[in-house]
Structure 1
Amino acid sequence: MACTLDASRLGERTEQWQRLAGKATRREEIPDGLRLTFPSTPELASEMASLAAAEQECCSFFDFTLHLTPAELVLTVRAPEAAGSLLADLFGAVA
């Protein structure tokens, strides 16, 4: 499993995810990924959805679930065990 982005685009994408993950109010390691909780804002929901859709183009092995409520946004990211290091690079998760 590998990302299909070239090195410069991969660096940019990594920065985007790390910046977004830095806005999380809570993070939870789950058996096959990570769950991040954010304040509920339309701008943040739009940014998350756009970034997750872009990520699917280059890393189709990731599974993203975005749960929206009036109080919070919850982004769940799941990946196969073989993609653990990429998950850690993007979100700071333990590989």
Structure 2
Amino acid sequence: IFQVFDDPRSATLNTVLDGQRFSKQSETKIMVRDVGALPLLPTAHSVELSEQPTQEWLDLWWAVDGRGGGGELAIAREILTGCPSLYALVRDDDG
């Protein structure tokens, strides 16, 4: 699966992928907002931000979206850390 923008920036890549008979199935939207413009959360809980997924973040994400065992989790970690990202974790009253 390739997630590629469908605009002039990716026209050449899309042509190559079309030629290789890859199919377009869904659109991915990437939304960005300046962190300084974010409203404060209406809760006493703080947001923990990190540039790498912590083990706790990864375990929670895998419990919801994961498919497979340890090998698949290792591959998912490589994918998640393969480009610059930001990870957020907010704890509820139970931690």
Structure with greater Cα Rg: 2
Structure with higher helix content: 1
User: Quick check: TM above 0.5?
Assistant: no
Q: Which has the higher strand share?
A: 1
| TM-score normalised according to structure 2 size | 0.22
Q: TM-score, normalised by structure 1?
A: 0.22
